[in-house]
């Protein structure tokens, strides 16, 4: 049995230690905001924040996160920072099909947490593991820039 | 824990490794890709002895369990290693994947392994029975095949503290991020008193193992730039012979051309 | 800017950004079983035996014998089997499905099923294919005469490759029997296509099939025909087990076994007199893959678009879609026209160079304008704003000067600049809209005065929920929030035609505007009211004769000018995109953010198509790179800031002046990219994708001749 902090609450999972965290989150904890786009680490749709850093949950075996902190979109969406990103994304219409978006939002958070005033290149690098087939990335990059401006002091 | 053991110390990890049929799991980014529901993992990601980056008198000692991100953020790691680490995949993989895994997976495409090769770094392998420190060049037996014993872990990598400032590193992938190396190239050339004291070249993704041919590079050692220029043709010819990429999805011809171009350009940039 | 164009927060924004939107895989039902398909491992073979191990309790195999109606998927034709019959025709051709309560067990059962084959000789080379699915040709003027009188005749062949849609959400369907009916939910573009297909496969009365679209994670054409196939298979499984069955493809299955853009080989023969093109002979082959799916209509559009934005008086156009033992090709953004537009733009460029003129100048001399005849002897009824658009792109990019500068370079890094003109015929080809589709829309006002839009059209990210609600809200003069729209459910919405062909806004949006106008006139506060509107073909259209390819193939066209600037590292052949621009005419944008998103997304897909996306078949017909690491699509680091602008050119017959937009942004990217490579390398090129390895081939050649 593995216990970890999930969106601020201590949880215990009965899944096997070799089970990908992605499956645990979706199947056991019903966090369907964590998406599966590839199951091979290649798309970022399953990204979560693991101990403060972005991680593709399909690449994380449950057994490796005993005592760790995991934040998914379901936890993050209750934060003030989320509200800023939400408005920024909305203002440029950065959400199309939406499948990449939960991962993209968490990637955005990690970019800003590390650097509240990122350059365009830093934003691009920060989301480079989050594939988006719909937007051409422009609007997403712009939205993160807007959030950086609007969220002064939050990050 | 079913299907897994969480080691809290190196000693504990070695104990489990010597007594159980387990697979060492560091960052998991290679292992999870080929998800195996029957695997029993030995989780190393919280073993403190493998997470340090420190200096001793001679070396920078990098814990095998350090992630690419930790390499990039460390003040001790040399620029050449940081640059390679920063070009691995993307943040959500760099935050998980480790240099130890990068070496132990036995891939000739491994980006940080290339840097350890070109810098002639050493590996500290530890088992319950003892430990050995070997040059990385002796570690590989072939693709996905290393000298690592079943009960042995890679615990640290030793890099020389200086001498890597004059480097050239190039990773060629299918795109600018989230891509494996199609070809990678690293080179270091040092001079003292007008003579070449060190010339270290390595190529990744062109064979079963990362290509590092000291005996070819030795052709330039002890020479002045004009003297090196005089043997340049032989030097290049030797590499031309040594580089024989296997034909895969990326053509061998392409890989070889890129290797020779990058090598030629590196020499040109040094006036050779 | 028109007021309607002002961007607002999208209808589906909140549910998607918060992770609350439910996609097919997010549904879990009581007693649900999981299904997985067993596909053929041979490209062409007769099945001689299928050996199924003893199945554990609760696990079942579903195959052709379990399809109670017709074991065929109704697409345009019905040659696609639901489950393989005697033969298999491509690697992945579905033979059977294993279903059961645990996915992992389903997987391991699948691995233990043995299929014995008698192998037949497969065809992979479309030029050598002996089965021709479709063969069309048409002419205008007299191409023979143009050749006889020509000063020069140039001929060249161009090739384009497969492209994977790579929508982020893989294909997924859930089917369950309910009260004697079959319910299908899932990721799809066209619920009524699925409805038709499932009805036929189950042999049901149409009333007993219900199809509900769930939030769909991207389509781009890839969820146009394929969901019909998967829905038939899943429905058969649900029927047999009498349980809900869910089938979600993993990425590898999705990449290897679902439709792709048609590869093409296209030969252009061009007659030139007095430095002007007087005639073109065009011959196209499209690789249709194993089954016909949408090849007929893709071929039609490819052929109709093959002389692009140019006025060519003497045309002879012929094309075939042929069968190969590869994954069936299907719809993909642009629907055949990107293939011929690529070839055409390159041909224009090459002919210009041979005649000693600059490519853009040469193209400009041939551009169509309002009143000109189209390739199919129809008419360009409306203003063609290409000259203004070219002027604008020149302002933004300094194209002519850069192009000249880049034509002479040395050193490690070499730059290039390319430009392409393209168009997209809006809506279905020919008279399909009026003759076959006959779209219907409904608007229902509830007693609380909330207005609900009822159409069969889907939002898969392109913003249709938002644009539809804007049109209806604006027309009714009520706030956007008062207009509601749900994912379509065939029990509730009429068939307003599929969500394809850049038709939704222009056709369905128009009908909604009319319906809203009607409702406005009869509006009774506090009462429930329903209005319905049916499609009527606009009067100005010259009827299209599909037999002869004559008349207005499309009511109007959207126009695009694209430029791409690249930098090649001559040591490694890596190519960096320094800039990518697009100027677009989509009539009036119903929402600027949405249009920008469509333009930028399409532009980047087009760049991917041109630069890096390559499906890699081995000699056995297996796709080797069926994953995101080996099939590379652009990441955020592969693109510069995409500069896209729209010009205002209202279309009199579209809602608020809007016309087709979704596909327009794609076609220009590839020719602009390859033209930029040509500019940097100083050679003529003739294929996409043009990969780093291809570039290295050119560099080696050039080096050789230095
Ligand atoms: C999406 C994606 C992109 C990638 N891109 C790149 C890239 O650009 N460049 C690159 O080089 N690699 C890349 N990789 C591969 C991988 O991330 C790296 O090789 C990484 O360094 C592996 O480290 P890990 O800690 O995750 O390895 P793990 O998966 O934990 O282990 C890899 C192997 O090494 C063994 N092992 C690990 N640590 C030890 C130890 N200390 N002692 C003994 N054995 C050990 C394991 O048993 C296993 O066999 C990518 C992977 C993914 C999923
Ligand atoms: S699903 Fe984990 S990275 Fe794609
Ligand atoms: S919005 Fe569709 S993949 Fe990003």
Average pLDDT over residues C685-699: 97
CB-count exposure of residue C688 (10 Å: 0-12, 13-18, 19+): buried
Interface residue A36 vs chain C (CB under 8 A)? yes
Task: Work out whether the CA dihedral C69, C72, C74, C79 comes out positive or negative.
Answer: negative
Q: Using alpha carbons, select from C499, C508, C21, C37 the residue that is nearest to residue C249.
A: C37
Give the Å distance between the CA of B155 and the centre of ligand 3. 41
C391 and C455, same structural domain? no
Instruction: List chain C residues with CB under 8 Å of A36.
Output: 25
Neighbors of chain A by Cβ distance (3+ pairs < 8 Å):
B, C
pLDDT at residue C506, as a whole number: 95
Instruction: Dump pLDDT digits (tens) for C574-618.
Output: 999 999 999 999 999 999 999 999 999 999 999 999 999 999 999
C604 and C642, same structural domain? yes
Pocket of ligand 2 (CB under 6 A): A 36-39, 41-46, 56, 58
Per-residue pLDDT for C69 more than 70? yes
pLDDT at residue C28, as a whole number: 96
Q: CB of B93 closer than 6 A to ligand 1? A: yes
* Helices C226-241, C191-202: inter-axial angle, 10-degree rounding: 40
Last residue of one domain, picked from the residues C210, C230, C257: C257
Question: Quick check: is C154 in a domain?
Answer: no
Instruction: Dump pLDDT digits (tens) for C346-385.
Output: 999 999 999 999 999 999 999 999 999 999 999 999 999 9
Per-residue pLDDT for A106 more than 60? yes
pLDDT at residue C532, as a whole number: 98
Instruction: Dump pLDDT digits (tens) for C503-542.
Output: 999 999 999 999 999 999 999 999 999 999 999 999 999 9
Is B175's CB within 8 Å of C412's CB? no
pLDDT at residue C166, as a whole number: 98
C249 and C171, same structural domain? yes
Structure confidence at residue C2 as a pLDDT band (50, 70, 90): confident
Interface residue B89 vs chain C (CB under 8 A)? no
Give the Å distance between the CA of A47 and the centre of ligand 2. 7
- Number of CB pairs, chain B paired with chain C, less than 8 A apart: 53
ipTM attached to this prediction? 0.98
Question: Quick check: is C419 in a domain?
Answer: yes
C440 and C422, same structural domain? no
Per-residue pLDDT for B247 more than 90? no
Instruction: List chain B residues with CB under 8 Å of A125.
Output: 90-91, 177
C199 and C180, same structural domain? yes
| Per-residue tokens: A26 | 């979706």
Instruction: Dump pLDDT digits (tens) for B101-123.
Output: 999 999 999 999 999 999 999 99
Per-residue pLDDT for C172 more than 70? yes
pLDDT at residue B37, as a whole number: 86
Is B257's CB within 8 Å of C612's CB? no
Indicate the pTM of the whole model.
0.98
Instruction: List chain C residues with CB under 8 Å of B251.
Output: 693
C495 and C393, same structural domain? no
Last residue of one domain, picked from the residues C257, C279, C301: C257
pLDDT at residue B238, as a whole number: 98
CA C242 vs CA C62, C103, C179, C180, C491: distances in Å: 12, 18, 11, 10, 21
Per-residue pLDDT for A67 more than 80? yes
Question: Quick check: is C14 in a domain?
Answer: no
C-alpha to C-alpha distance for A154 and A80, rounded to whole angstroms: 8
Per-residue pLDDT for A107 more than 60? yes
Cβ B257 vs Cβ B172: under 8 Å: no
Give the Å distance between the CA of A55 and the centre of ligand 2. 10
Atom 2 in ligand 3: which residue has the minimum CA distance?
A97
Per-residue pLDDT for C702 more than 80? no
Structure confidence at residue B227 as a pLDDT band (50, 70, 90): very high
What is the percent of chain C where pLDDT is above 70? 99
Per-residue pLDDT for B35 more than 80? no
Is the omega angle on the peptide bond into residue C689 within 30 degrees of 0, that is, cis? yes
Is B183's CB within 8 Å of C635's CB? no
Q: How far B6 CA sits from the closest chain C CA (Å)? A: 25
Residue corresponding to tokens 């014998």:
C65
Phi and psi, residue C545, nearest 5°? -105, 110
Per-residue pLDDT for C390 more than 70? yes
Question: Quick check: is C128 in a domain?
Answer: no
C595 and C454, same structural domain? no
Cβ C544 vs Cβ C377: under 8 Å: no
Q: Using alpha carbons, select from C265, C336, C267, C347 the residue that is nearest to residue C305.
A: C336
CB-count exposure of residue C622 (10 Å: 0-12, 13-18, 19+): middle
pLDDT at residue B248, as a whole number: 87
Q: Using alpha carbons, select from C505, C607, C496, C498 the residue that is nearest to residue C558.
A: C505
Question: Quick check: is C181 in a domain?
Answer: yes
CA C197 vs CA C77, C82, C245, C575: distances in Å: 11, 10, 18, 44
Average pLDDT over residues C89-107: 97
C507 and C389, same structural domain? no
pLDDT at residue C703, as a whole number: 63
The CATH number given to whatever domain includes residue C491 is: 3.30.365.10
Q: How far A126 CA sits from the closest chain C CA (Å)? A: 9
C613 and C503, same structural domain? no
C530 and C562, same structural domain? no
- Domain tally, chain C: 3
Instruction: List chain A residues with CB under 8 Å of C562.
Output: none
Average pLDDT over residues C69-91: 98
pLDDT at residue C655, as a whole number: 97
Non-local CB neighbours of C584 within 8 Å, separated by 6+ positions: C389, C558, C559, C560, C561, C595, C599, C644, C645, C646, C647, C661, C664, C665
Which residues span the domain enclosing C33? 24-122+166-257
DSSP-derived pairing of the beta strands C94-100 and C60-62: antiparallel
Question: Quick check: is C444 in a domain?
Answer: yes
Q: How far C635 CA sits from the closest chain B CA (Å)? A: 7
Interface residue A110 vs chain C (CB under 8 A)? no
Instruction: Dump pLDDT digits (tens) for B40-87.
Output: 999 999 999 999 999 999 999 999 999 999 999 999 999 999 999 999
Beta strands in C512-671 (DSSP E): 529-534, 557-569, 575-585, 642-647
Three-class SS state of A106: helix
Question: Quick check: is C78 in a domain?
Answer: yes
Show the domains of chain B with their CATH numbers: 3-160 (3.30.465.10), 167-269 (3.30.390.50)
Cβ A25 vs Cβ A15: under 8 Å: no
Cβ A64 vs Cβ B28: under 8 Å: yes
Give the Å distance between the CA of C497 and the centre of ligand 3. 24
Is A93's CB within 8 Å of C167's CB? no
Give the Å distance between the CA of C314 and the centre of ligand 1. 61
Question: Quick check: is C156 in a domain?
Answer: no
Average pLDDT, chain B: 96
Q: How far A123 CA sits from the closest chain B CA (Å)? A: 11
C-alpha to C-alpha distance for B124 and B98, rounded to whole angstroms: 15
Instruction: Dump pLDDT digits (tens) for B146-195.
Output: 999 999 999 999 999 999 999 999 999 999 999 999 999 999 999 999 99
Q: How many CA atoms lie within 13 A of C639 on its CB side?
A: 33
C68 and C190, same structural domain? yes
Average pLDDT, chain A: 98
Q: Using alpha carbons, select from C548, C680, C576 the residue that is nearest to residue C637.
A: C576
Last residue of one domain, picked from the residues C214, C237, C257: C257
C-alpha to C-alpha distance for C256 and B238, rounded to whole angstroms: 42
Instruction: List chain C residues with CB under 8 Å of B182.
Output: 692
In the 3-class helix/strand/coil scheme, how is chain B assigned residue by residue? CCCEEECCCHHHHHHHHHHCCCEEECCCCCCHHHCCCCCCEEECCCCHHHCCEEECCCEEEEECCCEHHHHHHCCCCCHHHHHHHHCCCCHHHHCCCEHHHHHHCCCCCCHHHHHHHHCCCEEEEEECCEEEEEEHHHCEEECCEECCCCCEEEEEEEEECCCCCCEEEEEEECCCCCCCEEEEEEEEEEEECCEEEEEEEEEECCCCCCECCHHHHHHHCCCCHHHHHHHHHHHHHHHHHHCCCCCCCCCHHHHHHHHHHHHHHHHHHCCC
Average pLDDT over residues C417-446: 96
Give the Å distance between the CA of A144 and the centre of ligand 3. 15
Is A136's CB within 8 Å of C601's CB? yes
Show the domains of chain A with their CATH numbers: 2-75 (3.10.20.30), 79-150 (1.10.150.120)
Is A107's CB within 8 Å of B35's CB? no
Q: How many CA atoms lie within 13 A of B46 on its CB side?
A: 13
Non-local CB neighbours of C476 within 8 Å, separated by 6+ positions: C451, C483, C516, C519, C520, C523
Is C628's CB within 8 Å of A43's CB? yes
Average pLDDT over residues A4-16: 97
Per-residue pLDDT for C705 more than 90? no
Residue C169 CA: which ligand 3 atom is closest?
Answer: 3
Per-residue pLDDT for B1 more than 80? no
Pocket residue to mutate for ligand 1, from B97, B127, B148, B171, most atoms within 8 A of Cβ: B97
Pocket residue to mutate for ligand 2, from A19, A25, A46, most atoms within 8 A of Cβ: A46
Instruction: Dump pLDDT digits (tens) for C290-338.
Output: 999 999 999 999 999 999 999 999 999 999 999 999 999 999 999 999 9
Left, alpha or beta for C371 (phi > 0: left; psi -120 to 50: alpha)? left
Average pLDDT, chain C: 97
Average pLDDT over residues C137-143: 98
Cβ B68 vs Cβ B85: under 8 Å: yes
In the stretch 315-374 of chain C, residues with CB closer than 8 A to chain A read none
C679 and C565, same structural domain? yes
Average pLDDT over residues A30-49: 98
């Amino acid at each position: 049995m593995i216990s970890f902090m999930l969106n601020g609450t201590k949880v215990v999972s009965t899944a096997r230690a070799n089970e990908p965290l992605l499956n645990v989150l979706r199947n056991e904890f019903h966090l369907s905001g964590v998406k599966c786009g590839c199951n091979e680490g290649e798309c970022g749709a399953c990204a979560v924040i693991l101990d403060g850093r972005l991680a593709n949950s399909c690449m994380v075996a449950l057994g490796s996160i005993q005592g760790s902190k995991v934040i998914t979109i379901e936890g993050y969406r209750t934060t003030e920072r989320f509200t800023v990103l939400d408005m920024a994304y909305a203002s440029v219409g950065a959400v199309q099909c939406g499948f990449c978006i939960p991962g993209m939002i968490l990637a955005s958070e990690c970019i800003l947490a590390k650097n509240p005033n990122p350059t365009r290149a830093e934003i691009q690098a920060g989301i480079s593991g989050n594939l988006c087939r719909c937007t051409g990335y422009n609007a997403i990059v712009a939205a993160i820039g807007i959030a950086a401006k609007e969220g002064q002091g939050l990050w | 824990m079913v299907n897994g053991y969480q080691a809290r110390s190196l000693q504990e990890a070695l104990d489990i490794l010597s007594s159980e049929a387990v697979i060492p799991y560091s960052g998991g980014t290679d292992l999870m890709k080929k998800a195996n529901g029957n695997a029993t993992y030995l989780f190393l990601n919280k073993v403190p002895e493998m997470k340090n980056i420190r200096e001793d008198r001679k070396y920078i000692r990098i814990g095998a369990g350090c992630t690419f991100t930790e390499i990039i953020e460390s003040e001790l790691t040399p620029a050449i290693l940081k640059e390679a680490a920063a070009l691995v995949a993307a943040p959500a993989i760099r935050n998980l994947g480790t240099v130890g895994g990068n070496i132990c997976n036995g891939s000739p495409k491994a980006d940080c392994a290339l840097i350890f090769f070109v810098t002639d770094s050493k590996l500290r392998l530890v088992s319950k029975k003892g430990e050995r420190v070997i040059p990385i060049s002796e570690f590989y037996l072939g693709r996905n095949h290393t000298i690592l014993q079943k009960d042995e872990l890679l615990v640290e990598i030793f890099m020389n503290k200086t001498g890597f400032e004059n480097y050239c590193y190039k990773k060629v992938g299918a795109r600018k991020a989230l891509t494996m190396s199609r070809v990678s190239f690293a080179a270091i050339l040092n001079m003292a008193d007008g003579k070449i004291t060190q010339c270290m070249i390595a190529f990744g993704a062109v064979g079963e193992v990362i290509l590092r041919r000291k005996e070819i590079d030795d052709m330039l050692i002890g020479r002045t730039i004009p003297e090196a220029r005089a043997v340049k043709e032989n030097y290049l010819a030797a590499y031309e012979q040594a580089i024989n990429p296997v034909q895969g999805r990326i053509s061998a011809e392409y890989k070889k051309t890129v290797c020779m171009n990058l090598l030629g350009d590196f020499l040109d940039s040094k006036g050779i | 800017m028109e007021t309607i164009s002002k961007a607002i927060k999208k209808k589906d924004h909140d549910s998607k950004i918060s992770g609350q939107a439910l996609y097919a895989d997010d549904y879990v039902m009581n007693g649900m079983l999981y299904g997985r398909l067993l596909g053929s491992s041979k490209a062409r073979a007769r099945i001689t035996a299928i050996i199924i191990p003893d199945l554990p309790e609760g696990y079942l195999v579903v195959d052709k014998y379990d399809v109670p109606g017709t074991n065929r998927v109704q697409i345009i034709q019905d040659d696609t089997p639901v489950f393989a019959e005697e033969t298999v025709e491509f690697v992945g051709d579905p033979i059977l499905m294993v279903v059961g309560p645990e996915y992992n067990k389903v997987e391991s059962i699948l691995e233990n099923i043995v299929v014995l084959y008698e192998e037949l000789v497969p065809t992979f080379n479309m030029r050598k294919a002996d089965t021709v699915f479709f063969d069309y040709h048409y002419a205008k003027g007299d191409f023979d005469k143009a050749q006889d009188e020509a000063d020069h005749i140039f001929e060249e062949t161009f090739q384009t490759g497969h492209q994977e849609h790579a929508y982020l959400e893989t294909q997924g369907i859930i089917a369950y029997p309910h009260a004697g009916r079959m319910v299908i939910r899932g990721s799809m573009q066209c619920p009524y296509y699925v409805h038709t297909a499932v009805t036929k496969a189950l042999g049901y009365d149409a009333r007993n099939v219900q199809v509900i679209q769930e939030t769909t994670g991207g389509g781009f054409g890839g969820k146009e025909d394929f969901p019909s196939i998967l829905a038939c298979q899943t429905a058969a499984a649900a029927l047999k087990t009498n349980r809900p069955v869910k089938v979600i493809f993993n990425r590898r299955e999705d990449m290897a076994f679902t439709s792709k853009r048609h590869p093409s080989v296209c030969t252009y023969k061009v007659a030139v007199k007095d430095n002007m093109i007087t005639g073109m002979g065009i011959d196209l082959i499209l690789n249709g893959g194993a089954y016909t799916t949408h090849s007929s209509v893709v071929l039609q559009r490819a052929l109709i678009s093959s002389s692009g934005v140019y006025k060519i008086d003497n045309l002879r156009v012929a094309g075939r879609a042929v069968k190969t033992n590869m994954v069936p090709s299907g719809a993909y953004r642009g629907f055949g026209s990107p293939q011929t537009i690529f070839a055409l733009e390159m041909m224009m460029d090459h002919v210009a160079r041979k005649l000693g003129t600059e490519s853009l100048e040469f193209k400009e001399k041939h551009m169509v304008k309002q009143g000109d005849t189209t390739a199919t002897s129809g008419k360009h009824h409306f203003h063609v704003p290409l000259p203004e658009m070219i002027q604008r792109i020149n302002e933004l990019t300094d194209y002519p000067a850069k192009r000249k500068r880049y034509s002479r370079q040395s050193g490690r890094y070499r730059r290039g600049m390319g430009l392409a003109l393209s168009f997209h015929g809006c809506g279905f080809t020919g008279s399909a809209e009026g003759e076959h589709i006959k779209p219907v829309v409904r608007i229902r006002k509830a007693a609380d005065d909330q207005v609900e839009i009822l159409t069969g059209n889907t939002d898969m990210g392109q913003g249709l929920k938002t644009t539809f609600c804007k049109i209806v809200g604006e027309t009714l003069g009520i706030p956007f929030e008062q207009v509601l729209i749900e994912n379509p459910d065939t029990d509730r919405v009429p068939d307003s035609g599929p969500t394809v062909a850049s038709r939704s806004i222009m056709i369905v949006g128009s009908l909604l505007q009319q319906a809203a106008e009607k409702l406005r006139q009869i509006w009774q506060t506090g009462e429930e009211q329903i209005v319905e509107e049916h499609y009527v073909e606009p009067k100005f259209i010259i009827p299209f004769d599909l037999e002869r390819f004559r008349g207005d193939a499309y009511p109007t066209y959207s126009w695009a000018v694209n430029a791409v600037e690249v930098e090649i590292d001559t040591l490694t052949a890596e190519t960096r995109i320094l800039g990518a621009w697009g100027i677009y005419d989509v009539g009036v944008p119903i929402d600027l953010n949405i249009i920008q998103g469509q333009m930028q997304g399409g532009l980047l897909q087009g760049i991917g198509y041109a630069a890096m996306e390559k499906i890699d078949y081995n000699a056995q017909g297996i796709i080797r790179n069926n994953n995101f690491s080996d099939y590379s699509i652009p990441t955020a680091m592969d693109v510069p800031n995409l500069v896209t602008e729209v010009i205002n050119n209202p279309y009199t017959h579209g809602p608020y002046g809007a016309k087709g937009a979704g596909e327009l942004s794609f076609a220009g990217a590839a020719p602009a990219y390859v033209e930029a490579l040509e500019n940097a390398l100083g050679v003529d090129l003739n294929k996409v994708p043009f990969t780093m390895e291809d570039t290295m081939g050119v560099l080696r050649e050039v080096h050789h001749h230095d």
